[in-house]
Amino acid sequence: MEEKQPILEVKNLKQYFKISRKFTVKAVDGVSFKIMPGETYGLVGESGSGKSTTGRSIIRLYKPTDGQIIFNGQDISGKMSKQEISMLRTKMQMIFQDPMACLNPRKKVMDIVAEGLDIHHSYSSQKEREQKVYDILELVGLSKEHANRYPHQFSGGQRQRIGIARALIMNPDLIIADEAISALDVSIQAQVVNLMKKIQKDFNTSFLFIAHDLSMVKYISDHIGVLHLGHLVETGTTEEIFSNPIHPYTKSLLSAIPVPNPHVEKTRKSLTYDHDQSDVDYTVGTEHHVGGTHYVLATDEEFEKWTKQ
């Protein structure tokens, strides 16, 4: 049998922002990972670690400085042909962080959701357009009568559903959820995450799930990548990362998750990891194979030291 092709393959992605002649911000510095069809890849890390930038580079809101992005077997990191652009813009979609800001306040839900259809002219009559919007609204748990309202008339959770509907209407193979749930309260987070899971089951859509809430990432992701200062310090399946974290940064992240058991929680110690004092240099580290799909970024000595502990 032929080996399954990854839907998205990111190889050594680099995204630098030139601030002035002397100063360049290296937001993402050599990140590589793969996403299989129907899987969810969780990208975690602290604020400013380059998670969102990675997502935006992949969907080509920025022009990557270096590296390769292969989506659906086509390289989309350089200049794209018209066909490739149209493939990328329909088959890869994004859900945004702030449900208030990601919907145009002057447009009706109908027009917001149908925007992708309008741009790519993928309907033959006004009736078909309406029907498509109604169907997709139903799918995300809204109803027909919501189509004629404006975004400000909805709650945060409903707005996020509209955002999801807008992404879904193009039948994407990959959805980048850029902290899609961090602006919602916890009960609504669960609703939205379950909705994403349902969509994944029904349509075999892949997700790149960018978040800083580890317990949510654990719940939804098949694979996890831990990002720190633009470097992917550790990656593997959810099981591998959570049961056997190698990198001290991953360890400190995992130790910060509160445990829903008061006896354990009382004695839980959160490890601190201070990059400046730990003299770990990400630029000299290489990928070390731990087992399965589990890789960690370290030098040989560091790897030995961390695995011994």
> By the criterion CB under 8 A, which residues form the site for other proteins?
56, 59, 61, 85-86, 88-90, 92-94, 96-98, 101-108, 110-111, 115-116, 119-120, 130, 143-145, 147-150, 152, 163, 166, 170
Name the minimum Å distance from CB 18 to other proteins: 12
Name the pairing type of β-strands 231-237 and 294-298: antiparallel
Q: How would you class 246 by CB atoms within 10 Å of its CB: exposed for 0-12, middle for 13-18, buried for 19 or more?
A: buried
Please say which residue, 157 or 163, places its beta carbon nearer to other proteins.
163
Please say which residue, 50 or 151, places its beta carbon nearer to other proteins.
151
Please say which residue, 109 or 297, places its beta carbon nearer to other proteins.
109
Name the minimum Å distance from CB 89 to other proteins: 3
Please say which residue, 130 or 287, places its beta carbon nearer to other proteins.
130
Between CA 44 and CA 30 the distance in angstroms is 16
Please say which residue, 196 or 214, places its beta carbon nearer to other proteins.
196
Name the minimum Å distance from CB 265 to other proteins: 36
Cross-strand bridge partners of residue 103: none
Name the minimum Å distance from CB 104 to other proteins: 4
Name the minimum Å distance from CB 53 to other proteins: 13
Q: How far is CA 122 from CA 115, 125, 139, 203, in A?
A: 10, 10, 19, 19
> Residues 6 or more apart from 153 whose CB is under 8 A from it?
none
Residue tagged 């990675």 (tokens): 54
Could you tell me if 253 and 270 are in contact, meaning their C-beta atoms sit under 8 angstroms apart?
no
